[in-house]
Structure 1
Amino acid sequence: MRRSVRTVVLGVVLALIALVVPTSQVHPEQATLVAVRQARGLDVDPHVVWILAVGSDARPGQLMTRTRGDALQLVGIDTRTGAAAAIGVPRDSFVDIPGHGYDKINASMVFGGPQLLARTVGNLVGIRPDFVFVTRFPFFEDMIDDIGGITVVNPRPFSDSALKPKGFRAGRISLDGYAAMAFSRIRHDLPRGDFDRSANQQRVLRGIQARVAQRAAEPGFIDRGVFSVLQHTSTALGPAALFRLARAVAAVDPAKITTCVVTGSIGTAGAASIVRPNVAQARRLGHAARSDATLPRGC
């Protein structure tokens, strides 16, 4: 029998950070929601809530909050207007990690967990997230399957011999959990590599939000989700804060979702391929979205 959709979580969520997952199958180590030290509180008014959504590259047996993040999306929600913005940060961005020198930005979670990753992303973009949401990819796949799959608009065909040999056609396509994971992770067949992959992650998150919005009005949906978060997600947040976050996600206006990816150039550091991020552009994006979760169109 199909597992019930129970949990509304906040994170992988790119333009809106709402995830729905099955209560019967999720282990607490599959997801964690961390409040960032020294970040603004939820009760600040007016406020924009910023959540750094991270897809952990942890293998079985590894601690997901101390491994490299494979997907990094900084998502903001303006609870006054229903606007939401997502700033994609390529995982190979070569930046100064406080206390550890220059390295790929996703290495900061290895060095110092979600708190250091939040600080490092904040230094690049100019926005310190209020929360970091980290999830494993199997958790992500279950979520997509349990909300009935998603639809995305794919601008170009691409494939991967390991993850998706038959690939994805261009146009409007439907994705189940595994396909959504592959769509989010493939980069080698994309013209702009890590930059296009980050944009694809944002397309997937838009698809998640659209599907979740279809179910938000179901009686008890938000209430059951908050209860399940407390049961199955590692977090110190109480039910009142989670409920406010869930309601903020449900109130997002799809017409007010804007997304951008931090650009840069491809280079090397030793034998490693890296992205040298356009810091000036990253700061412009942060400045534009900081107060109202709205990014310039066409960035």
Structure 2
Amino acid sequence: MRGRGWRRWLAIGAVLAVAALVVPDSAVKSTEIELLKVNTADGVDLSPDVVWILAVGSDARPGEDMTHTRGDALQLIGMNTKTGAATAIGIPRDSWVDIPGHGYEKINAALYFGGPQLMGQAVGNLVGIQPDYVFVTRFLFFQDMVNGIGGIDVHNPVRFTDDAIHPPQYPTGFPAGKIHLNGWSALAFSRMRHYLPRGDFDRSANQQRVLRGIQSTVHAKAHVPGFIERGVVSVMAHMHTDLGPVELFKLAQAMAQVDPAKITSCVVQGGIGDVNGASVVLPYVDQARRLGNDARKDAVIKHC
């Protein structure tokens, strides 16, 4: 790393350390983000180059504990700290799986039953990769984060709308092609599914497009003085974590080194079933494991 870049990362590390000391207790700030290390005795991938984070969008309402409600958006993200590659494996929230200790349920119920640890275990059992960390956020903070970086650009493959949600920016639905999203429209783009050709599967793919848009924007603006530092302070001010400043610094560095041109993504597919009158996704476990095996060593998916 060049001298200037290294000095900047030292400065960011100092910001993380100071922020951790200034706002150490979630009781004195609004907790909008939870970042936890997964505690498992075995099964964690120990590749020295790849870090796995399960990103969860919590469906918590105001006043509810976001770490013990149903997860709405589930993306298993791998980052290769050596090559700058990254991948996202999308998990439809209605996937019908065996949740340890609770029997078969929709996979997003794992967050309700056992918090981030059980959520990470359930996704890890499906894909075959146990995440190193679980990142949970409320949707309102997601909106603020997107607005804070000036919005994002995504490529939308097909026009769609939703009778229940009409973003002011796109009152007649999202057109096909390259579109710019602010916080509210990015959230709507990530959550709509009823008029998408493949429903929950397409919604998960749209969530990946939004994540790619966020990373691309951060990567493009990272050179702007103070941009990364302000983002770190904003996140720390609303985050509860069991990670120390050094580990947070390493994660921030891994995220910043991701090359937008080296991002791959896939969504676990499945059939549609009915359990006690509720629609569920019956995930193709063989495909989920193949994706995990493909990406395990280098955070690259060669084909879906």
Deviation at 1:191, TM superposition (A): 0.8
Aligned residue among 273, 279, 282 for 2:285? 279
Please state whether the residue corresponding to 1:138 is helix, strand or coil: helix
Higher normalized helix content (fraction of residues):
2
Deviation at 1:221, TM superposition (A): 4.0
Deviation at 1:228, TM superposition (A): 4.4
Equivalent in the alignment of 2:200: 194
Aligned residue among 80, 90, 98 for 2:100? 98
Relative to structure 2, which stretch is displaced further, 278-287 or 263-272? 263-272
Q: Contact 1:226–1:239 (CA<8 Å) still a contact in 2?
A: no
2: CA distance between counterparts of 1:141 and 1:208?
11
Q: Contact 1:58–1:64 (CA<8 Å) still a contact in 2?
A: yes
- The correspondence of residues 107-118 of structure 1 with structure 2, limited to 5 A, is 107-118=109-120
Aligned residue among 80, 85, 88 for 1:86? 88
Please state whether the residue corresponding to 1:168 is helix, strand or coil: coil
Residue identity matched to 1:98: P
Please give the per-residue CA displacement for 1:129-154, whole angstroms capped at 9, x wherever unaligned. Answer: 01110001010011111111111100
2: CA distance between counterparts of 1:29 and 1:251?
27
Please give the per-residue CA displacement for 1:26-83, whole angstroms capped at 9, x wherever unaligned. Answer: 953211101100379x9x6623110000000001111000000110000000101100
Residue identity matched to 1:30: E
Equivalent in the alignment of 2:31: 29
> Any unmatched runs of 5+ in structure 1?
1-7, 9-25
Equivalent in the alignment of 1:253: 259
2: CA distance between counterparts of 1:61 and 1:55?
16
Deviation at 1:166, TM superposition (A): 1.5
Please state whether the residue corresponding to 1:72 is helix, strand or coil: strand
Asked whether 1:269 is paired with 2:281, we answer no
- The correspondence of residues 197-236 of structure 1 with structure 2, limited to 5 A, is 197-236=203-242
Equivalent in the alignment of 1:67: 69
Deviation at 1:241, TM superposition (A): 1.0
Residue identity matched to 1:257: I
Deviation at 1:162, TM superposition (A): 1.4
> Any unmatched runs of 5+ in structure 2?
1-11, 13-27
Residue identity matched to 1:212: V
Please state whether the residue corresponding to 1:191 is helix, strand or coil: coil
Please give the per-residue CA displacement for 1:2-29, whole angstroms capped at 9, x wherever unaligned. Answer: xxxxxx9xxxxxxxxxxxxxxxxx9532
**Structure 1 residues 222 and 241, CA, compared in 2 at 3 Å: closer, same or farther?**
farther
Aligned residue among 126, 133, 136 for 2:135? 133
The alignment's C-alpha RMSD in Å is 1.9
Query: After TM superposition, where is structure 1 displaced by more than 6 Å over at least 4 residues in a row?
Result: none
Deviation at 1:169, TM superposition (A): 0.5
Q: Equivalent pairs: percent with the same residue?
A: 64
Equivalent in the alignment of 2:53: 51
**Structure 1 residues 233 and 183, CA, compared in 2 at 3 Å: closer, same or farther?**
same
1: CA distance between counterparts of 2:237 and 2:217?
23
Higher normalized strand content (fraction of residues):
1
Deviation at 1:240, TM superposition (A): 1.2
**Structure 1 residues 220 and 176, CA, compared in 2 at 3 Å: closer, same or farther?**
closer
> Which protein shows a greater Rg?
2
Residue identity matched to 2:175: R
1: CA distance between counterparts of 2:236 and 2:182?
26
Give TM-score scaled by structure 1 length. Answer: 0.87
Deviation at 1:218, TM superposition (A): 2.7
Q: Contact 2:29–2:237 (CA<8 Å) still a contact in 1?
A: no
Please state whether the residue corresponding to 1:161 is helix, strand or coil: coil
2: CA distance between counterparts of 1:155 and 1:100?
38
Equivalent in the alignment of 1:171: 177
1: CA distance between counterparts of 2:83 and 2:180?
30
Equivalent in the alignment of 1:183: 189
Deviation at 1:271, TM superposition (A): 1.3
2: CA distance between counterparts of 1:39 and 1:234?
23
**Structure 1 residues 155 and 242, CA, compared in 2 at 3 Å: closer, same or farther?**
same
Q: Contact 1:72–1:89 (CA<8 Å) still a contact in 2?
A: yes
Residue identity matched to 2:266: C
Q: Contact 1:52–1:133 (CA<8 Å) still a contact in 2?
A: yes
> What is the number of equivalent residue pairs in this alignment?
272
Give TM-score scaled by structure 2 length. Answer: 0.85
Residue identity matched to 1:219: P
Deviation at 1:223, TM superposition (A): 4.3
Residue identity matched to 1:38: T
